[in-house]
Amino acid sequence: MADFKFSPFRTTRIVQSEIQEFLDAVSMAVLAYQEGMIAYLKEGWLVAAEEKLQQISSYESRGDNLRTHIGLTLYTEMLLPDTAGDVLSLLSDLDHLLDRMRGHFILLGIEKPEFPIDCNEAIIDFISHACSAMEHTVAAARIYFRDPKAVHDQIHKIHYHQEEAEKFLIRLLKSIFTGNYALERKCHLRDHLVHIDRLADQADETGDAIAIYAVKRSI
Partner 1 sequence: MIDLSFFIFLSSGLFLGWSLGANDAANIFGTAVTSRMLRFRTAAILCALFVIIGAVISGAGASHGLGKLGAVNALAGSFTVALSAGLTVYTMTIWGLPVSTTQAVVGGIIGWNLFSDSPTDLASLSQIAGTWVASPILGALFAWLIYLGLNGLINLTKPHLLWLDHWTRLGLVLAGVFGAYSLGANNIGNVMGVFVSSSPLQEIQIGELFALSGPQRLFLWGGIAIGAGVFFSRPVMTTIGKGIVPIGPLGGWVVVVSQALVLFIFSSTSLQQFVTGLGLPPIPLVPVSSSQAVVGAVCGIALARGIKGLRQIRWWELGKIAVGWISTPISAALICYVLLFIVQNVFEQQVFIGPSGSNAGLVP
Contacts of 115 (CB under 8 A, 6+ apart): 41, 123, 189, 192
For partner 1, how many residues bind (rule: CB under 8 A)?
21
Check binding of 81 to partner 1 (CB under 8 A). Answer: yes
CB of 27 to partner 1, least distance (A): 18
Whether the CB-CB separation of 79 and 122 falls below 8 Å is answered with: no
Q: Which of 82, 114, 121, 153 binds partner 1 (CB under 8 A)?
A: 82
Site mask for partner 1 (CB under 8 A), range 132-171, x = bound:
------------xxxx-x----------------------
Q: How many residues does the chain have?
A: 219
Check binding of 21 to partner 1 (CB under 8 A). Answer: no
d(CA 162, CA 156): 10
Check binding of 87 to partner 1 (CB under 8 A). Answer: yes
Phi, psi of 112 (to 5 degrees): 40, 65
Contact positions toward partner 1, by CB under 8 A? 9, 12, 15-16, 19, 78-83, 87, 144-147, 149, 216-219
